[in-house]
Amino acid sequence: MKFYRFLLFWIKVKRFSSHLIIFICLFALFGFCLLSSWASQSYVSYDDVYALKIEWPIFGNISIEGVGSNQIEIETVSADQSEIDPSFNESLKIDKVDDIVHVSLNTDYSLTGLDLKIQTPPDLSITIKSIAGDIFLSQLRGNVNIQLQKGDINLQNTMGQYKINLLEGKINGHILLNEGENLFSTRLGDIDLKVLDQQTAGLTLNAPNGNITLDLPDGFLASFEIWQGEKQSRFLSNVEVETDHLVSLKTGEKGKIKLSHEPMIRKTEKNQIDSQPKNQDWKPKLKFFPTPVLDFNRVNGWVLGGNTTIHRRNQPSRKYWISLTLSMTRLFGGGGNHRPLYHQLGVKQTWRWKKDSLPSITAGLLVYRVADIISNDVGQFDYQELLDASIWGIVALDYYERTGGQVWLTQQFSPACFLELTLTDESHGNLNKYTDWSLIDKSRPKRGNQRIQSGDLQSATLTFSLDTRNDKQTHTRFFRDRFLPSPTPTTGWLGCATVEKTHQSMVEDLDFTKLILRLTRYNQIGKNQAFNLRWQAGLLSEVDYLPQRLFYLGGLNLRGFQPRRFVGTRLVAYNIEYAYLHPKRIMGYAFSDGGYVWYKKEHRMAQYGLSLGLGAGILTQEGQIRVEVAIPFSGFYTKDNWFNSPRYALRVNQSF
């Protein structure tokens, strides 16, 4: 009997327990559904992310906070938490394109309000485009680009370059600046900013229907323009010399501007000049950007000089270029009839449809007398010669003299696309080897300089250039910006397509066409890795005995081989490289180069070169310093040349 009662009691307990468990599960499921109706969370890995782009076409507050985490946490909360709508859990749309995370709303759902909260590692660039709502950013390090129609913007301990446009609302913040231009603009509202450190940068604060308060730390060096309406009321400065850092504060005629430490800011000479009659303001305000030049090669020895771009302060769209270099070795050692002074003089003018916007057109003129590198269009960079020739006595490049002029017209469609037409009229002359000196192995005679076909040349060159890289690198050559390889991991395309139609007058007149196609793909993998590829092809028609117009492979563009090992009028080549950059700026990489150069009537694979190699180096502010070892392979049908001994190289640049 007792056992029977115990059995009945145990059955009732199990039924009750099972019902209780089911009830708890149902209650938890109900609570989860209720909570998820107005809140949802998503997580994105931070390993491959460098920027966050948000498009928020409805009302909602946006909060982004930098935290010590290795992932990005994205949470949405209904602006009206009493509203239960199952669509909130599916409304968020997160896409990852390259290294950018795009956050937007699914257009299949109709929402009236939704807040967005994000916690992320601090190193992230932010782009926000929103209709209405407050925006709060905190503890972030990266560029900030915000477009907001209505709401307040609050920045707390953020560092970067800023571009903020607000139609109606206030802008408040405690910020740190990077170099570059920064814009804070609100059409209806006040601006109240405090800069937390002495890093100077360009600042434009625009509040045509409000007041401006700017609190700067001691030691913030800049010039200050203060505008009320259309009139400049004051120009102040706390620096002794001209500076590129301009702080421009603009309000309406009834607006108030409060600038900290204003009593410590002295009036400049410009203030005194502007207060005098306009006919006394005759002295031009010129800005100079000088760069020293140091070079060495065997045709000129040591070369010293400099170049500078010049423009008026109030007319930066028109620039002038002066470059003077002098062969010190020829000057003091006696150069015979050779003139040791080289020069470049130029001017260019840029027109834009709108101020500081694209597209733009630039026209330029340049006259010159220079010693140039033979076939400089296949990736040879002349600054490597300074190390190779002066220290090791390595003869890698050959030179010839160019005297004449160029006019060009450049159409820039976007930051990534250019189209340029260049007309050239110049004469080419030979240069002889002048010195065998080098720091190491001084007495060894160096190879003579290659001869060219001298004469007059007229050409028309059309070039389409593409550069979609995140980190664009350029250098100035013939008064124009030319692309350089990216020293750090980046993502994007870099390329050009060139057609050159040339007439050259020598012993006989020659008309020929040169085509060049070059395309590089930079692929960033994670934070510190890159896998880059380059393809190039070239064609020279009608002529095969102009050394200054032929294609060359070997050296920097075909590592493992002697510079200019292969030559011809047809070119097909590739470069592949995998690189790893340690956080302490130490590099390691593996690469493969290959190419085939031949003349029109040749079909020999002996002109084919292939190399495999490894390298290590360090990344400096000026670029990469590399040590490479490459194994060359050549001549598919010549067994004796199939394998060659490894070649070692110390480089102060990179192949692509």
Task: Say whether both 303 and 198 belong to one domain.
Answer: no
329 falls within a domain? yes
Residues contacting residue 296 through CB under 8 Å, at least 6 positions apart: 302, 303, 385, 386, 389, 390
Percent of the chain clearing pLDDT 90 (strictly above): 30
Q: How many domains does the chain have?
A: 2
The count of other CB atoms within 10 Å of the CB of residue 467 is 20
209 falls within a domain? yes
> Residue 54: pLDDT above 50?
yes
The pLDDT of residue 238 is: 64
From residue 642, how far is each of 14, 567, 592 by CA, in Å? 83, 19, 16
Which residues share a beta bridge with 448?
none
Its pTM stands at 0.60
> Residue 157: pLDDT above 50?
yes
- Phi and psi torsions of 512, nearest 5°: -145, 165
> Residue 624: pLDDT above 90?
no
The pLDDT of residue 395 is: 80
DSSP 141: B
Spatial contact of 203 and 224, defined as CB atoms under 8 Å apart: no
> Residue 570: pLDDT above 60?
yes
Q: What is the spatial distance between Cα 213 and Cα 272, in angstroms, rounded to a whole number? A: 26
269 falls within a domain? no
Task: Say whether both 244 and 299 belong to one domain.
Answer: no
Using the 3D structure, point to which of 218, 243, 259 is the last residue of a domain.
259
Element (DSSP H or E) covering residue 14:
helix 2-36
Q: What is the spatial distance between Cα 76 and Cα 64, in angstroms, rounded to a whole number? A: 12
Task: Say whether both 370 and 232 belong to one domain.
Answer: no
Task: Say whether both 162 and 307 belong to one domain.
Answer: no
Task: Say whether both 210 and 354 belong to one domain.
Answer: no
Alpha helices in 360-499 (DSSP H): 383-387
> Residue 216: pLDDT above 60?
yes
25 falls within a domain? no
pLDDT tens by residue, 246-280: 888 899 888 888 887 554 444 443 443 343 344 44
37 class by beta-carbon count within 10 Å (0-12 exposed, 13-18 middle, 19+ buried): middle
Using the 3D structure, point to which of 236, 259, 282 is the last residue of a domain.
259
CATH number at 565 reads 2.40.160.50
Task: Say whether both 435 and 513 belong to one domain.
Answer: yes
Question: Could you tell me the pLDDT band of residue 155, with boundaries at 50, 70 and 90?
Answer: very high
The pLDDT of residue 615 is: 94
Spatial contact of 251 and 211, defined as CB atoms under 8 Å apart: yes
pLDDT tens by residue, 416-434: 899 999 999 999 999 988 8
Using the 3D structure, point to which of 205, 238, 259 is the last residue of a domain.
259
> Residue 583: pLDDT above 90?
no
The pLDDT of residue 352 is: 80
pLDDT tens by residue, 520-548: 999 988 878 999 999 999 999 877 778 88
Task: Say whether both 178 and 317 belong to one domain.
Answer: no
What average pLDDT does this structure show over 131-150?
91
From residue 561, how far is each of 298, 441, 577, 593, 608 by CA, in Å? 21, 22, 17, 10, 11
The pLDDT of residue 75 is: 84
Tally the C-alpha atoms within 13 A of residue 203's C-alpha that lie toward its C-beta.
27
Q: What type of residue sits at position 582?
A: H
Q: What is the spatial distance between Cα 454 and Cα 499, in angstroms, rounded to a whole number? A: 22
Spatial contact of 348 and 361, defined as CB atoms under 8 Å apart: no
> Residue 386: pLDDT above 90?
no
Task: Say whether both 523 and 629 belong to one domain.
Answer: yes
The pLDDT of residue 69 is: 74
Angle at 544 between CA 541 and CA 547, to 5 degrees: 115
pLDDT tens by residue, 393-410: 888 888 999 999 999 999
Q: What is the spatial distance between Cα 573 and Cα 538, in angstroms, rounded to a whole number? A: 9
Find, among 390, 422, 419, 429, the residue nearest to 406 by Cα.
422
Ramachandran category for residue 30: left, alpha or beta (phi over 0 → left; psi -120 to 50 → alpha): alpha
Q: Which two tokens stand for residue 156?
A: 């707390």
The pLDDT of residue 595 is: 92
The pLDDT of residue 338 is: 66
Task: Say whether both 159 and 303 belong to one domain.
Answer: no
Q: What is the spatial distance between Cα 249 and Cα 77, in angstroms, rounded to a whole number? A: 37
Question: Could you tell me the pLDDT band of residue 515, with boundaries at 50, 70 and 90?
Answer: very high
533 falls within a domain? yes
Q: What is the spatial distance between Cα 253 and Cα 255, in angstroms, rounded to a whole number? A: 6
The pLDDT of residue 41 is: 61
Mean pLDDT is lowest, of 75-79, 124-128, 335-339, 362-366, for: 335-339
Spatial contact of 125 and 101, defined as CB atoms under 8 Å apart: no
Mean pLDDT is lowest, of 194-203, 249-258, 459-468, 636-645, for: 636-645
177 falls within a domain? yes
pLDDT tens by residue, 73-89: 888 876 544 344 444 44
pLDDT tens by residue, 222-251: 788 888 877 766 777 766 555 567 888 899
pLDDT tens by residue, 453-495: 888 999 999 999 999 887 777 778 888 888 888 888 888 899 9
> Residue 25: pLDDT above 80?
no
> Residue 6: pLDDT above 80?
no
Average pLDDT, the chain: 80
421 falls within a domain? yes
Burial 296-320 (b: 16+ CB within 10 A, else e): bbbbbbbbebebebebeeeeeeebb
Question: Could you tell me the pLDDT band of residue 200, with boundaries at 50, 70 and 90?
Answer: confident
Q: What type of residue sits at position 458?
A: Q
Rounded (10°) CA dihedral 182, 185, 189, 190: 20
Question: Could you tell me the pLDDT band of residue 284, with boundaries at 50, 70 and 90?
Answer: low
> Residue 451: pLDDT above 50?
yes
Spatial contact of 452 and 302, defined as CB atoms under 8 Å apart: no
> Residue 321: pLDDT above 90?
yes
Dihedral of alpha carbons 595, 598, 600, 604, sign: negative
Task: Say whether both 192 and 307 belong to one domain.
Answer: no
Mean pLDDT is lowest, of 7-11, 91-95, 613-617, 640-644, for: 7-11
- Phi and psi torsions of 174, nearest 5°: -115, 110
Question: For residues 382 and 125, which has the higher predicted lDDT (pLDDT)?
Answer: 125
598 falls within a domain? yes
Q: What is the spatial distance between Cα 620 and Cα 358, in angstroms, rounded to a whole number? A: 33
Mean pLDDT is lowest, of 366-380, 386-400, 578-592, for: 366-380
Q: Which two tokens stand for residue 126?
A: 């932010």
Task: Say whether both 633 and 572 belong to one domain.
Answer: yes
Domain range enclosing 131: 40-259
Task: Say whether both 243 and 329 belong to one domain.
Answer: no
